[in-house]
């Protein structure tokens, strides 16, 4: 065997063990069915965070406003998620790699990779603290910092073997999750309701259907919708080619329906019946120690997906910027340690500010990718009809996506802080997404697509074309 072939084999083996974090998934490795990938994405869909969101919205702004906003979130995130899933499955790339050839250039895409990675590390910390609080309720003799280190560390080995391990973990834990969930619903029927009417008729004094209350609920949903739409790309790149059309829609919509419809709806139900917004309180009230175990299961399920996505994004950033490629497992450890430090540092005190910026940024990023693929590439035929991630073929910067995202994120954040009026404060992320999409098209036309490719590759299979 020649040295060249040995090198290629070694590279292929490293890519396989590293879950192809730095290049497209080869077609020979796209062998996962839509059911397996949907199952993995349920790791985020079953998070207790969605209980809390539903409960808070219902108690502050009325159940009907929360339900209307949930339907809006399912539709918008489902549509964006389906398109992102389709592009990912066709190209064999996640959103970090797609961004390189999708309007950002390879250095421009590093911006998205770093913020995306920080997003997931922050969510590991937020979700981890929910778990720590639930366990600390029953075992107050154990210092909280010990629980933080323990639960922050345990997700590292659960991520060691990549997507195949995630599939097995989520598959075997999902039935246990449903047993706990059904038990919580059943016990709630035997717990006297604080509110005497039908839960969906609950409305706080002075609050009306629609108007400011509905916009407030929509604003809360915007904080997470971009994440749920983009997240699936880390897994749909492994989707079987024959499952792409049907699987993209299912993977795009089913997790959104479960996040905002089932979990969010149950959060509204529990919150109104028990007059409590914190699921860490009412789940434990309903199930006792079982509630703590339920919380532990849900938070571990979501945090293994958060760590996985963070590791992929960090791999992309450091390979792009510094040619530093220690492997995905190294970044799993780094992500876990960073999340532990954030938990110990009290990051939860800054949850509102973080959610505001990231909601704007992530929804705008998704809008850039969708506008670039559907309008710029497919309709206007500007730039390549495929995604390229290798640096030798790309410019460092492409103003089409980079400028669109930066401008939309800055203006969206200013709007979210209330400087553009009450309406835009609540719809800032949606405003940023529309602005980002428009700017993407305008800049693509203005630059005539000259910054997409430095030179054309000769080895791009036509099957990987997205348009």
| Full DSSP string of 227-247 | HHHHHTHHHHTTB-GGGHHHH
Q: Is the pLDDT of residue 438 over 50?
A: yes
**Residue-wise pLDDT tens digits, 155-209:** 899 888 777 778 888 888 889 999 999 999 999 988 888 988 888 899 998 889 9
In a domain, 363, yes or no: yes
Tell me the residue range of the domain where 207 lies. Answer: 35-462
State what percent of residues in the chain have pLDDT above 70. 95
Q: What is the pLDDT of residue 66?
A: 96
Q: What is the CATH number of the domain that holds 439?
A: 1.10.4160.10
Return the bridge partners of 443, or none.
none
**Residue-wise pLDDT tens digits, 67-81:** 999 999 999 999 999
More confident residue, 280 or 151: 151
Q: Pick the range with the lowest mean pLDDT from 42-46, 65-69, 90-94.
A: 42-46
Q: What is the pLDDT of residue 228?
A: 87
Closest CA to 401 of 437, 354, 358, 347: 437
Q: What is the pLDDT of residue 273?
A: 93
In a domain, 447, yes or no: yes
Q: Is the pLDDT of residue 3 over 70?
A: no
- First-to-final CA distance of the chain: 39
State what percent of residues in the chain have pLDDT above 90. 56
> Binning pLDDT at 50, 70 and 90, where does residue 119 land?
confident
Q: What is the pLDDT of residue 108?
A: 92
SS (H, E, C) the chain: CCHHHHHHHHHHHHHHHCCCCCCCCCHHHCCECHHHHHHHHHHHHCCCHHHHHHHHHHHHHCHHHHHHHHHHHHHHHHHHHHHHHHHHHHHCCCHHHHHHHHHHHHHHHHHHHHHHHHHHHHHHHHHHHHHHHHHHHHCCCCCHHHHHHHHHHHCCHHHCCHHHHHHHHHHHHHHHHHHHHHHHHHHHHCCCCCCCCCHHHCCCCCCCCCHHHHHHHHHHHHHHHHHHHHHCHHHHCCECHHHHHHHHHHHHHHHHHHHHHHHHHHHHHHHHHHCCCCHHHHHHHHHCHHHHHHHHHHHHHHHHHHHHHHHHHHHHHHHHHHCCCCCHHHHHHHHHHHHHHHHHCCHHHHHHHHHHHHHHHHHHHHHHHHHHHHHHHHHCCCCCCCCCCCHHHCCCCCHHHHHHHHHHHHHHHHHHCCCCCHHHHHCHHHHHHHHHHHHHHHHHHHHCCCCCCCCCCCCCCHHHCCC
In a domain, 162, yes or no: yes
In a domain, 3, yes or no: no
* Helix/strand/coil for 289: helix
Q: What is the pLDDT of residue 351?
A: 63
DSSP of 320-352, one letter per residue? Answer: HHH-----HHHHHHHHHHHHHHHHHTTGGGGHH
**Residue-wise pLDDT tens digits, 217-244:** 998 898 788 888 898 899 999 999 999 9
Q: What is the pLDDT of residue 41?
A: 86
In a domain, 55, yes or no: yes
Q: Pick the range with the lowest mean pLDDT from 82-91, 119-128, 354-363.
A: 354-363
In a domain, 40, yes or no: yes
Q: Is the pLDDT of residue 467 over 80?
A: no
**Residue-wise pLDDT tens digits, 5-37:** 433 443 444 444 457 878 899 998 999 999 999
In a domain, 186, yes or no: yes
Query: Cα torsion at 216, 217, 222, 225 (round to 10°)?
Result: 180
Q: What is the pLDDT of residue 352?
A: 62
- pTM of the predicted model, to two decimals? 0.88
Please give the tally of structural domains in the chain: 1
pLDDT, mean over the chain? 88
Q: What is the pLDDT of residue 49?
A: 84
Closest CA to 80 of 259, 232, 223: 232
In a domain, 18, yes or no: no
Q: What is the pLDDT of residue 186?
A: 93
């Amino acid at each position: 065997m020649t040295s060249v072939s040995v090198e290629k084999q070694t590279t292929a083996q490293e890519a396989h063990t590293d879950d192809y974090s730095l290049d497209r998934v080869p077609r020979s490795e796209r062998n996962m069915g839509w059911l397996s990938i949907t199952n993995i994405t349920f790791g985020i869909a079953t998070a207790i965070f969605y209980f809390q969101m539903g409960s808070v919205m219902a108690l502050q702004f009325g159940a009907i406003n929360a339900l209307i906003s949930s339907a809006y979130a399912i539709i918008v995130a489902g549509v964006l998620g389906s398109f992102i899933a389709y592009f990912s499955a066709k190209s064999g790339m996640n959103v970090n790699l797609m961004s390189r050839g999708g309007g950002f250039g390879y250095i421009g895409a590093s911006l998205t990779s770093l913020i995306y990675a920080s997003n997931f590390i922050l969510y590991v910390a937020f979700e981890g603290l929910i778990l720590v609080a639930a366990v600390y309720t029953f075992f107050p003799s154990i210092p909280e910092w010990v629980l933080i280190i323990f639960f922050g560390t345990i997700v590292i080995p659960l991520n060691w073997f990549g997507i195949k391990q995630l599939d097995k973990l989520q598959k075997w834990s999902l039935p246990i999750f449903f047993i706990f969930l059904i038990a919580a619903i059943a016990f709630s029927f035997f717990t006297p309701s604080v509110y005497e009417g039908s839960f969906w008729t609950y409305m706080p004094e002075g609050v009306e259907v629609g108007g400011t209350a509905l916009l407030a609920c929509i604003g809360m949903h915007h904080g997470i919708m971009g994440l749920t739409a983009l997240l699936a790309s880390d897994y749909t790149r492994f989707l079987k080619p024959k499952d792409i059309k049907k699987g993209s829609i299912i993977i795009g919509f089913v997790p959104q329906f479960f996040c905002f419809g089932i979990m969010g709806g149950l959060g509204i139900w529990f919150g109104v019946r028990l007059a409590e917004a914190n699921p860490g309180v009412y789940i434990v009230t309903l199930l006792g120690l079982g509630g703590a175990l339920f919380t532990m299961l849900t938070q571990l399920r979501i945090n293994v997906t958060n760590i996985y996505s963070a590791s992929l994004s960090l791999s992309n950033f450091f390979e792009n910027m510094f040619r530093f490629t220690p492997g995905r497992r190294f970044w799993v450890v780094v992500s876990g340690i960073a999340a532990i430090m954030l938990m110990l540092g009290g990051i939860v005190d800054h949850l509102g500010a973080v959610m505001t910026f990231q909601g704007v940024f992530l929804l705008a990023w998704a809008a850039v990718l969708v506008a670039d693929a559907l309008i710029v590439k497919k309709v206007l035929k500007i730039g390549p009809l495929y995604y390229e991630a290798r640096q030798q073929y790309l410019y460092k910067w492409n103003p089409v996506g980079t400028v669109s995202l930066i401008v939309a994120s800055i203006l969206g954040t200013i709007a979210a802080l209330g400087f553009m009026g009450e309406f835009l404060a609540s719809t800032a992320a949606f405003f940023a997404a529309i602005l980002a999409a428009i700017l993407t098209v305008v800049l693509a036309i203005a630059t005539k697509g000259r910054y997409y490719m430095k030179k054309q590759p000769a080895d791009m299979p036509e099957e990987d074309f997205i348009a």
